[in-house]
Amino acid sequence: MKKSMWCLGLLTALSMPSAEAASREIRALFQPDSSQPNKNVFLNKTPNSGYCAQYPSECVDNNMFSIELPVRFDSTRAIVPGQGIALKVPANWRQLTVTNAETRETETVEVRITGVGSKFILSDSAAKLVGVTASLEGHQKLWTSSSWVYAPEPCQYSGKGTYSPTTYRFFWKAPVEAACVKVAAFSIPSMSFDTLVFAYELRTPKPLNMSSGLYTGAISYTMGPGADFDLGPLMVPDDANLTLDFVLDVQHTLKVDIPPVGNRVLLEPQGGWQPWLEHGRKPVRLYRDQIFNISASSKFTMRLVCELDLDTGCGIVDRGTGYAGRVNVSVSLPNGLTDSAGRPVRRLPLNRTATSPFQLGIYVDRKPGTLHFEMGEWDTNWMIVNSKGRPFKGNITVIWDSEV
């Protein structure tokens, strides 16, 4: 009896559409890692811009990512003493749906904004506005709570701030969705923010439960007074809308390795044929257990294709007489793979109809499974009686399929 194997592995390339003003793509990738089989998370592949590009160590330490947008905010009139610039961002978790273009499966992604920053530009030097000569002293005195490196509550200090006579670059952490107000101590004829920088955090679905392919979706925000990104009533942006386009790329592995000559399966009695030849003890069954190694990071099914179809199992035939015997095929899978009910897979019968999808708790990397080929007592006895000394042969194809 000859067995052949067909293995399907999916690997999908990531497309990279160009970004536009007030629109950014956030990309995350899952590829199984044999060194971390329990790792069931996406890796954020979006290039940092703004704060995290300038201070990467600060962001690595805090697991932050940042995006800088070319959106400019300008004051609508002079800012007088006692008036504040109030920064508020959408710090609460928001949900969006991403969809697999091929399978139409959907998953939920959550995102929240965890920090905000920019570089503000004053109409004159801070020192001149407050009547001093030193730039740093001017920035410290211009506001009631010192310079903009110090975040007003509930925002938090990020550790970095740079300045020139007329500008100040800052970044604040935003743990809650509330206004953080910096109050002017002196009059400021006009000011602007040249860009908008924000940090974000993601909650992504578990990729081991997802099909291979690209999952896409989008979430939209507003910018301006009273909007999602709000810099107070005095600051108006040149673009009122922001869209974040999400691309989750799932690149699963499904690979099956059969040992050399493993595609030739010889059915024999337990202990071989000698007990029958020498002592006349007929075998009660014929069988062969064939080991294979499997690497899998996604659910898959298995089924048979028989050269000779029977109601169950596959037939092997005496090519001379046309007599056929029945071979049943079952599979045992390694730990980490379960049936649809979460049970270990031990001698699960295979047929021409696909099994229910096998599930994964971890990435399985080159773990051994077993194909069990067996001819029962009735078929064994019938074949021995009708063999005429000739072999029974047949082709059985076992298919592992991740297109579930």
Q: What is the pLDDT confidence band of residue 38, given thresholds at 50, 70 and 90?
A: confident
| Mean pLDDT computed over every residue of the chain | 89
* Cis geometry, peptide bond prior to residue 344 (ω within 30 degrees of 0): no
Q: Which residues contact 49 (CB under 8 A, 6 or more apart)?
A: 66, 67, 68, 197
Report the alpha-carbon distance of residue 363 to residue 209 in Å, rounded: 11
Report the alpha-carbon distance of residue 10 to residue 300 in Å, rounded: 11
Report the alpha-carbon distance of residue 169 to residue 173 in Å, rounded: 14
Q: Among candidates 235, 255, 207, which has minimal Cα distance to 29?
A: 207
Query: Could you read off the pLDDT of 229-264 as tens digits, one per residue?
Result: 999 999 999 999 999 999 999 999 999 999 888 889
Task: Show the tokens assigned to 76.
Answer: 């609508």
Which pLDDT score, from 0 to 100, does residue 12 have? Answer: 25
pLDDT at 391 over 50: yes
pLDDT mean over 131-136 = 96
Report whether 99 contacts 108 (CB < 8 A): no
Report the alpha-carbon distance of residue 239 to residue 196 in Å, rounded: 11
pLDDT mean over 82-99 = 97
Report the alpha-carbon distance of residue 248 to residue 377 in Å, rounded: 52
CB burial of residue 277 (10 Å; 0-12, 13-18, 19+): exposed
User: Which domains are assigned to the chain?
Assistant: 15-250 (no CATH), 254-401 (2.60.40)
Q: Among candidates 162, 193, 205, which has minimal Cα distance to 75?
A: 193
Query: Could you read off the pLDDT of 64-77 as tens digits, one per residue?
Result: 899 999 999 999 99
Query: Could you read off the pLDDT of 193-234 as tens digits, one per residue?
Result: 999 999 999 999 999 889 899 999 999 999 999 999 999 999
Report the alpha-carbon distance of residue 202 to residue 113 in Å, rounded: 9
Which pLDDT score, from 0 to 100, does residue 278 have? Answer: 63
pLDDT at 11 over 80: no
Which pLDDT score, from 0 to 100, does residue 171 have? Answer: 96
End-to-end CA distance of the chain: 29
Task: Show the tokens assigned to 239.
Answer: 């673009």
**What type of residue sits at position 11?**
L
pLDDT at 18 over 70: no
Report whether 91 contacts 176 (CB < 8 A): yes
